[in-house]
């Protein structure tokens, strides 16, 4: 296992390094933050002093070196906008985003998998048809529009839920549904097709032939194998949720990392952008590594070292 | 499997022995006709937007602002789907917006398809260093939070349709490359390819004459399924203000403009939202149909 793990982790660190470097270059290219902030009548001396304070007068390579050294110490400098440490700005909002992503992930599992299984077992029936329709609509619905639709129906018309912000459990419901929508539809579809594929295998016929209860065949023999194929997809989905939360956080004014990054991009607040992207990139590759590992553990046919 | 056991709701390449031209139509043709009709309306609206739109989509008449659609009390046939906060005709803006979506689809899909297929063919046929490099690149790309980077790049270069197109091509070529490479890897061991090689066919000839025709089906299916991805991606970027530029009309931007008026005029976000959904839905349905039609082996699975 370790022999498989080490190159995978090294590769992941390399990916994070590339992402962070790209963001460093990118956030310098979006424009000079001082120009965006300084008053119209600011003197040249004041502007230079501000640039000096932020280290913007150093050669690019020195800035890059300082930046990488800062990454290692989790010191990313201060936010230009709020003048608080950039790391604190991000970490104080991280829990809100993780909470939203996990809630959406639970929804995806709780809705997508059971409906997909049910649709496969009752293939061709009315419930199957409805499930497929739901999956099709869910995959065609842009999440910002799903969010606005929910706000209109449940907040504006019915007045059951608050339109935006974070607070109690009722604040979480609509953002979580919005974030989960696409993933739940995709999971439903993949579970259904995975189950159908597994159910056509010979060992399922054998299990039925030896007189096992239908329930046992479905749960013990079919579902377990169908879920195996889903692990990778679900892992990628969990990783995408954190990054995908940007739109949902903007629509629902959810005070998380996504909305912070969105705001910081328009404010040219590059220390905060860098930390935010770094956090999301680390989350991304960490989940990818975990998915790889779990796949190795779950499926004895794929032995460590063989293939990907 | 006998022809009778094929599910009737899936189209098949099988032509039944019954007589008459009706039997020559592919399975599921009524639905297919519907999909094609919807796509046809979308394409025609996009190409001829300036002729079809009943009003100038940028024409502001403040007297008529915030009119409801025709079936509501304050609606009028003059503006079938009502007007926005600046008195612009929603129906005409939807038509003009389809031009934007059509332009993005018509550039992003061929662009990413050609790039991805070329890389995939070369990687699968030549193997070696290029293959390793290309596949690492694909992995990195598929693992990137694409939207985040699109936002950054849009902030760097300013919102414009051209940037959206370039960004989407850069993010969407990877699935084609992976698919084509996988198929090329299995094709290269097949007898007809080995035979061509033995007869002295050049790399280019093997790739274009022997491998390419055999991957076209999968690539076309993926491209069709990608229509919804592209539409939704462009709409999302435009919604966040990182997509179409200020003078371009886009469905995503219309949703965002209507957002502030959600409480009093739902239809300002409703119409563009529903339009995006219908085009994306039909794209997916058409892709599913094509997969069933071109790749009958998958018929029982999907």
pLDDT tens string B140-166: 777 667 777 777 777 777 778 888 898
Q: What is the predicted pLDDT for the residue at B302?
A: 38
Average pLDDT (B120-141) is: 83
**In this complex, is the C-beta atom of B301 within 8 Å of any C-beta atom belonging to chain A?**
yes
Average pLDDT (B276-295) is: 87
B285 within some domain: yes
Q: What is the predicted pLDDT for the residue at B117?
A: 92
Read off the pLDDT band of B111 (50, 70, 90): very high
**In this complex, is the C-beta atom of A239 within 8 Å of any C-beta atom belonging to chain B?**
yes
Distances (CA, A) of B119 to B115, B137, B164, B221: 6, 11, 22, 18
DSSP state of B236: H
* B144/A142 CB distance under 8 A: no
B89 within some domain: no
Residue B20 has pLDDT above 50, yes or no: yes
Query: Which letter, b or e, does each residue of B271-288 get, where b requires 16 or more Cβ atoms within 10 Å of its Cβ?
Result: bbbbbbbebbbbbbbbbb
For residue B83, what are the β-bridge partners?
B89
**In this complex, is the C-beta atom of A15 within 8 Å of any C-beta atom belonging to chain B?**
yes
How many helices (H) and strands (E) in chain B?
11, 0
Distance from CA of A136 to the nearest CA of B (A): 7
Q: Sign (positive/negative) of CA torsion A208, A225, B1, B10?
A: positive
Report the C-alpha dihedral over residues B249, B250, B255, B257, rounded to 10 degrees: -30
Residue A37 has pLDDT above 80, yes or no: no
**In this complex, is the C-beta atom of B137 within 8 Å of any C-beta atom belonging to chain A?**
no
Rg (CA), chain A: 24
Sort out which chain A residues have CB atoms less than 8 A from B232's CB and list them. 140, 142
Distance, in Å, from the CA atom of A279 to the CA atom of A267, rounded to the nearest integer, reads 19
How many CB atoms within 10 Å of residue B202? 11
B20 within some domain: no
Pick from B93, B76, B238, B154: which is nearest to A144 by CA? B238
Distance from CA of A221 to the nearest CA of B (A): 18
Token pair 């690149």 is found at B137
**In this complex, is the C-beta atom of B140 within 8 Å of any C-beta atom belonging to chain A?**
yes
B55 within some domain: no
Sort out which chain B residues have CB atoms less than 8 A from A250's CB and list them. 240
Instruction: Sketch out chain A's domains with CATH numbers.
Output: 103-253 (1.10.3720.10)
Residues with Cβ within 8 Å of residue B66, at least 6 apart in sequence = B82, B83, B84, B85, B87, B261, B264, B265
The per-residue pLDDT for range B41-87, each reduced to its tens digit, is 889 888 887 888 777 887 777 777 777 787 777 777 777 777 777 77
- Considering the entire predicted model, what is its pTM? 0.82
- CB A34 within 8 Å of CB A28: no
Which carries the bigger pLDDT value, residue B260 or residue B24? B260
- Residue-range definition of the domain harbouring residue B182: 97-299
B80 within some domain: no
CATH code, domain carrying B104: 1.10.3720.10
Which carries the bigger pLDDT value, residue A165 or residue A279? A279
Residue B99 has pLDDT above 50, yes or no: yes
- Of A144-153, B107-116, B180-189, highest mean pLDDT: B107-116
B108 within some domain: yes
Residue B280 has pLDDT above 90, yes or no: yes
């Amino acid at each position: 296992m370790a022999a498989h793990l080490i190159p995978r982790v090294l590769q992941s660190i390399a990916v994070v390094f590339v992402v962070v470097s790209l963001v460093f270059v990118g956030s310098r290219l979006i424009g000079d933050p001082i120009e965006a902030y300084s008053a119209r009548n600011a003197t040249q001396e004041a502007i230079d002093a501000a640039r000096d304070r932020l280290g913007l007068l150093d050669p690019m390579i020195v800035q890059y070196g300082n930046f990488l050294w800062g990454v290692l110490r989790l010191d990313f400098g201060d936010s230009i906008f709020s003048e608080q440490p950039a790391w604190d700005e991000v970490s104080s909002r991280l829990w809100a985003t993780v909470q939203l992503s996990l809630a959406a992930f639970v929804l995806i599992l709780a809705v997508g998998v059971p409906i997909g299984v049910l649709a496969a077992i009752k293939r061709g029936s009315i419930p199957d048809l409805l499930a497929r329709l739901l999956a099709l609509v869910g995959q065609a619905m842009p999440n910002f529009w799903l969010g606005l639709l929910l706000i209109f129906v449940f907040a504006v018309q019915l007045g059951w839920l608050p339109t935006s912000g974070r607070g109690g459990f009722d604040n979480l419901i609509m953002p979580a549904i919005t974030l989960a929508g696409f993933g739940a539809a995709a999971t439903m579809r993949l579970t259904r097709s995975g189950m159908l594929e597994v159910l056509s295998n010979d060992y399922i016929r054998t299990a039925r032939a030896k007189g096992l209860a239908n329930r046992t065949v479905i749960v013990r023999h079919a579902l377990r194998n169908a879920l195996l194929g889903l692990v990778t997809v679900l892992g990628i989905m969990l990783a995408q949720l954190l990054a995908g939360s940007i739109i949902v956080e903007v629509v629902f004014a959810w005070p998380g990392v996504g909305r912070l990054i969105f705001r910081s991009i328009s404010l040219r607040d590059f220390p905060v952008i860098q930390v935010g992207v770094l956090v999301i990139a680390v989350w991304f590759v960490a989940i990818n590594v975990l998915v790889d590992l779990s796949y190795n553990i779950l499926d004895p046919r794929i032995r460590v070292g063989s293939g990907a | 499997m006998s022809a009778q056991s094929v599910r009737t709701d899936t189209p098949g390449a099988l032509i039944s022995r019954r007589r008459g031209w009706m039997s020559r139509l592919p399975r599921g043709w009524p639905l297919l006709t519907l999909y094609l009709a919807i796509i046809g309306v979308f394409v025609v609206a996009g190409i001829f937007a300036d002729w079809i739109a009943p009003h100038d989509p940028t024409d502001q008449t403040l007297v008529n602002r915030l009119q409801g659609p025709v079936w509501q009390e304050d609606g009028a046939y003059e503006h079938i789907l009502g007007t926005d906060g600046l008195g612009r005709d929603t129906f005409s803006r939807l038509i003009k917006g389809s031009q934007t979506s059509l332009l993005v689809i018509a550039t992003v899909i061929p662009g990413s398809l050609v790039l991805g297929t070329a890389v995939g063919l070369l990687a699968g046929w030549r193997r070696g260093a290029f293959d390793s490099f290309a596949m690492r690149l694909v992995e990195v790309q598929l693992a990137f939070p694409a939207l985040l980077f699109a936002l950054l790049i849009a902030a760097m270069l300013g919102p414009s349709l051209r940037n959206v197109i370039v960004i989407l091509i850069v993010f969407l070529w990877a699935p084609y490359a992976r698919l084509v490479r996988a198929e090329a890897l299995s094709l290269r061991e097949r007898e007809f390819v080995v035979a061509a090689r033995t007869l002295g066919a050049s790399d280019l000839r093997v790739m274009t004459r022997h491998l390419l025709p055999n991957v076209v089906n999968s690539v076309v299916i993926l491209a069709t399924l990608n229509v919804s991805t592209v539409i939704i991606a462009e709409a999302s970027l435009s919604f966040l203000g990182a997509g179409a530029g200020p003078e371009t009309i886009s469905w995503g931007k219309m949703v965002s403009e209507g957002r502030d008026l959600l409480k009093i005029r739902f239809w300002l976000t409703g119409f563009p939202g529903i339009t995006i959904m219908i085009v994306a839905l039909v794209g997916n349905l058409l892709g599913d149909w094509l997969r069933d039609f071109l790749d009958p082996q998958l018929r029982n699975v999907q």
